[in-house]
Amino acid sequence: MASGQIGDSAASGDIYGTGVRLGIYFQVIGLSFSAGVGKAGGVKLVLGATMLGLLLSWTHLALGKEISPAESLTVLSLLDALFIPVGFALLCPKAWVGEGIAIFCCMFAQVWAFAANIWFWAKLYNTLPDLGTPSVTWFWVQVSIDGWFRIFSLVTATIYQGLGTVGIVFGSVVINIAASNAWLEGEDELDDEDQREEVMIRWRGGLIGLSLVAFIFCIAQIEMTIKWNGLTPDNDFSHPGQSIPLVIGIIVLVDGIMALFGLAIAKGPC
């Protein structure tokens, strides 16, 4: 860490820089729009690759004790936000066949993220260096990462993310079996795809409200954690590490908005 700098310089640029965060926020919104209207081809692959990249970088820094608890929580919250469109994407039978690798990436990322959360709240919160931060975060009010909030987060991560991990792993296995059988038979869709889609549309609709609340919470926690800990994420958009994820996020957002317009046009006036 450079003299006078708060937090890790590599993480502030490559993991939670302003361009990176905005790019992820835009991706979450755009991919949720696309998957929500049934246009989920490629969504899982984008999400899986992004999450695995974040997890790999964070794990490397955590093992080397080069990142603070506050920064770690910021990264884990970014991962929580990225998981929001995964539910919509997995509930799109029309995008199951031929996406086995993408589904596996999402499943592997979920298991890795679950292990990372348990590791952080059980041990890393106390062993990672503060790097000049007060180690506080947002939970409606300012709370200490190593106080009662740690116990609460460990319990909720174990229950909520544990159940989510079991659900995604089980669902991914079932989806891959059905998709693989169709692929081996030379089909590009499932025999009962239309019937499955009707059921999944109702499930996707039920996720909208919960997903919106979760997304707003993730953004609030990320941004307030950065502010209250005095972190200085890279906000120079001339740097490739900021401009590339930002441009990708903008394009994904525009694509998602166009998917919504396409659905509205297809349905016609009420």
Q: What contacts 24+ positions apart, CB below 8 Å, involve 58-64?
A: 58/11, 58/15, 58/116, 59/116, 61/8, 61/10, 61/11, 61/15, 62/116, 62/119, 62/120, 62/124, 62/128
Cα→Cα distances 224→74, 137, 158, 231, Å? 10, 7, 24, 10
Cβ-contact 92, 40 below 8 angstroms = yes
Q: Region 59-63: what's the mean pLDDT?
A: 95
Q: Region 9-31: what's the mean pLDDT?
A: 91
Token pair of 130 as six digits: 């503060």
pTM of the model: 0.87
pLDDT category of residue 64 using cuts at 50, 70 and 90: very high
74 vs 160, higher pLDDT: 74
Q: Is 266 exposed, middle or buried (0-12, 13-18, 19+ CB in 10 A)?
A: exposed
Summarize pLDDT for 176-225 with one digit per residue, the tens: 777 677 666 666 555 545 555 555 555 555 567 678 888 999 999 999 99
In the chain, pLDDT over 90 holds for what percent of residues?
A: 48
Domain ranges of the chain: 11-263
Put residue 142 in one of left, alpha, beta given phi > 0 → left and psi -120 to 50 → alpha.
beta
Q: Is 155 exposed, middle or buried (0-12, 13-18, 19+ CB in 10 A)?
A: exposed
Q: Minimum mean pLDDT among 80-84, 171-175, 202-206, 231-235: which range?
A: 202-206
Summarize pLDDT for 84-98 with one digit per residue, the tens: 888 777 777 666 666
pLDDT category of residue 270 using cuts at 50, 70 and 90: very low
Q: What DSSP designation does 235 have?
A: -
**With 80 as the cut, is the pLDDT of residue 174 above it?**
no
**With 60 as the cut, is the pLDDT of residue 57 above it?**
yes
Q: What is the structure's pLDDT at 249? A: 93
Closest CA to 62 of 115, 104, 19: 115
Summarize pLDDT for 118-138 with one digit per residue, the tens: 999 999 999 999 999 999 999
Q: What is the structure's pLDDT at 261? A: 80
Token pair of 33 as six digits: 């729009």
Average pLDDT, the chain: 84
- d(CA 19, CA 242) in angstroms, rounded, equals 4
Most confident of 38-47, 199-208, 243-252: 243-252
Q: What is the structure's pLDDT at 192? A: 47
Q: What is the structure's pLDDT at 262? A: 75
